[in-house]
Structure 1
Amino acid sequence: MKLYSTVIGISLLAACHTAAPEQQQVAVPPVIAQLNPMVLIPGGEYEMGADDNTGMPDEYPRHAVKIDSFWIDEHEVTNAEFRAFVKATGYITTAERPISKEEYMRSLPPGSPEPDSSMLLPGSLVFTPTDHAVDLNNVGQWWRFELGADWQHPEGPGSDINGKDQFPVIHVSWEDAQAYAKWAGKRLPTEAEWEFAARGNLKGQPFPWGTELPQVGKAKANIWSGHFPYENTESDGFYNIAPVKSFAANGYKLYDMSGNVWEWTADWYASNYYNEVQPGAANPGGPDTPYDPADPNSPKRVIRGGSFMCSDEYCRGYRVSARMKTTPESGLSNLGFRCARSVR
């Protein structure tokens, strides 16, 4: 089905409670191992959550977490990698499939009007910058649902990804990311693993590189420079998505753990989860029951890392502790993923 949710939780289609597939004991396809080598993250303990008082409420309380060693992709999964998966399997992504009226209506409050038939056609949400200042509480002013938008046509039917093999794949749902990971013999990282890797072996620092703001000195991440969503000065060299590895790696030699595109994790999202997890928990896998008080009828998965749309004015998601969420069916023009693998 297509996307009906933004990264801040506006959702019209509820998630299905589908368990994550088990990790497959298969070799990583040679093309994937070549295009995106994995990095071994040594196990350890760290303080998960906001390191100061600038975080959002769901980033507290800070709590100790123990993580076993694991592997994680060096960079976000690219168009070239995803194309190899589709070519090998014939997989059709969520954004490329129509949905039924019944599926759509199940997520709406009783008595809601039936959708226009066009809303049941394949498509996805595309970022559309404005030419003037807008109310930043109204995300609908810079998102549009575009029929025919998908990973191969990121702006709609007239667009393509020619020459963009090294750009992160976008418009992929959680289901799509899971399917790719299973094919590649990998899995999605847990939220705790993702943050541990993003910190790059630094302690108590807000960014993968330390304390300096992303655009101070040499640009350290692909985020929004200027006034969102109508003026981007491109001081980091990019208006939209950047090719992977365009910025320096963190201490674990991982790229784009801040900015560029949001990344799916394996975990359900619950706003109060940090209050429930036991301090010192080993390899926590998120809550059993998802809950977003701003949109309680739509279960969501955690996404991490921020995107090219993040700025101090809107969405400081490029901080290592920042949490965001969206429905598993969602595909966005600023949402991708990277994979992990357990150490056997």
Structure 2
Amino acid sequence: MSSCCSPDGRPSEHGHATAPAQPGTFNLAVPAPRAAADAGHADVAIPAGTFAMGDPFDEGYAADGETPVHHVSLDAFRVDTTTVTNAAFAAFVDATGYRTESESFGTSAVFHLAVAADRSDILGAVHGTPWWLNVRGADWAHPAGGRSSWEELADHPVVQVSHNDALAYCAWTGRALPTEAQWEYAARGGLEQARYPWGNELHGVADDGSAVHHCNIWQGTFPTENTLDDRFLSTAPARSFEPNGYGMYQTSGNVWEWCADWFLPKYYKTCAAAGTVENPAGPSIGRGRVMRGGSYLCHDSYCNRYRLAARSSNSPDSASGNLGFRTVALP
């Protein structure tokens, strides 16, 4: 395992598993793609339109390339209302015999307060990000280690899945990962240049003056104390909190979501120079694949990436306990 660092030199909050010599492979004897509804997908129609993509507040990390804001035009598509759940991924594995990359590698990254494994299976901390532990036996079916099971979290997002694993699932369902532009357009839920899917303020205020939480992120002092004000230490069920204007759940926080694009920070400058860009598929090269949405570990003291415009990346074979995906289809 190795670690990723945020642009300001502090370790970022997502784990990064480095591939061994033999990567996971898609089972060649794969059944024909199933209809989306049969595969457990509830999705919504996203209308065609043009939107301003990027950070209008200029508050992201400069090295992430969230600016300049540029206009993007997209055709209509359909998108999952939630990230793919453990139950849906289990159906895929049962039907195909697919073996994820974390299973092939034998280890994956688990947040230190969430580990459920024998002490002998904890192989050490990730260099530079000591809150991530390299845990033998951690994979999608055992997201926190050998003493955990997806069956206890059937309605939670599947995690410990690489970009390659997500593509294998998409091939089975006949769907695709969203492009980064599709993801941001849909995640905004129709709000123009808002900071979050619900508006510009992180918290609402209840009648008694207490904070109303709209997403699953870290509260307290990271990475040692989580006050659990939003009730969750790690993943929340995929339909927790209120949906955005299009009916999509948790596009801020809970788990990072893989997108189809390669990550290249200067790409937005290229788009802005071209004027309105139609259906961008991202750059042809990059230093990893795009991740969007932030996770339950994000905190504004070091990882302010649960904003709608925020971007990050990881290598396609990486997996961790806070990284999942959702899928799209043409209407």
TM-score (norm. length: structure 1)? 0.80
1:51 aligns with 2:75: no
The residue that corresponds to 1:282 in the other structure is 278
**Residue 80 (str. 1) matches residue 87 (str. 2):** yes
Q: Say how many residue pairs are matched.
A: 294
User: Which digits, 9 at most, give the CA deviation of each residue in 1:268-326, with x for residues without a partner?
Assistant: 00111111122200011111111xxxxxxxx3000000000011112111100000100
**Alignment correspondent of 1:315:** 303
1:152 aligns with 2:120: no
With over 3 angstroms needed to count, the CA separation of the structure-2 counterparts of 1:63 and 1:29, relative to structure 1, is closer
1:302 aligned residue:
290
Q: Which has the higher strand share?
A: 2
With over 3 angstroms needed to count, the CA separation of the structure-2 counterparts of 1:11 and 1:184, relative to structure 1, is closer
Structure 2 residue 330 is matched with structure 1 residue 342: yes
* Cα deviation 1:49-68 (Å, max 9, x = unaligned): 00212122210111011011
Unpaired runs of at least 5, structure 2 = 6-11, 22-31, 115-126, 206-210
Deviations 1:25-52 (A, max 9, x none): 95525432xx331110001001100021
Pair 1:127-2:134 in alignment: no
CA-to-aligned-CA distance 1:141-199 (integer Å, 9 cap, x gap): 11111111101111222222232110100000001000001101100000000000111
Secondary structure of the corresponding residue to residue 205 of structure 1? coil
Shift of 1:240: 1.2
Separation in structure 2 between the aligned mates of residue 228 and residue 49 of structure 1, nearest angstrom: 27
RMSD over aligned Cα, in angstroms? 2.3
Deviation at 1:93, TM superposition (A): 0.2
3-state DSSP of counterpart to 1:313: coil
2:78 aligned with 1:71: yes
Q: For residues 308 and 12 of structure 1, do their structure 2 counterparts lie closer, same or farther at Cα, with a shift above 3 Å needed? A: closer
Task: Measure, in 2, the Cα distance between the counterparts of 1:142 and 1:215.
Answer: 29
Check if 1:181 corresponds to 2:170.
Answer: yes
- Deviation at 1:10? 8.1
The correspondence for 1:328, drawn from 316, 326, 331, is: 316
Structure 1 segment 190-339 matched on structure 2, within 5 A: 190-214=179-203, 217-277=211-271, 278-290=274-286, 299-339=287-327
Which residue in the other structure is 2:44 paired with? Answer: 39
Aligned-partner Cα distance in 1 for 2:242–2:38: 24
The whole-number CA distance in structure 1 between the counterparts of 2:111 and 2:44 is 32
**Structure 1: which 5+ runs fail to align?**
17-24, 99-121, 131-137, 291-298
Query: Could you tell me the TM-score, scaled by structure 2's length?
Result: 0.83
Query: What SS does structure 2 have at the residue aligned with 1:31?
Result: coil
